[in-house]
Amino acid sequence: MVHPVKEHELLSPVDLPGEPIEGRHPLRWTAVTLAVAALVLLFANAATLSAWVDEKPVSETQQQLSVAAGSWAGVMDSIGVTAPRAKLHALWKTLQAARFGDEAPGDTV
């Protein structure tokens, strides 16, 4: 069912329903999606979290967080959760270091 286009509306190439679909909970879906993404990053990207904490200005809180983040990264490494990220990072660094022709390291266009 196509709803009439009002003067201030833009035409869409896709017919969208005029009314929200009943029985769906978009806020719940969004919250669950964000929570899952945060947990995946917390587990699989622990080394980056540790490096980020280490870059912060030194303070008592930063030192405590650095120890905690380092421990967390160690635990995640020991159970193998960070292995896929480590392999992708190593591949990226290899590709980043690649040079073409007589290009010297560090040359930029």
Position with higher pLDDT, 101 vs 89: 89
Range with the largest mean pLDDT of 14-18, 27-31, 89-93: 89-93
Whether the predicted model's global pTM rises above the 0.85 cut? no
Render pLDDT for 31-49 as a digit per residue (tens, 0 to 9).
999 999 999 999 999 999 9
- Measuring CA to CA, how many Å separate 73 from each of 26, 36, 48, 78, 96? 33, 19, 9, 9, 24
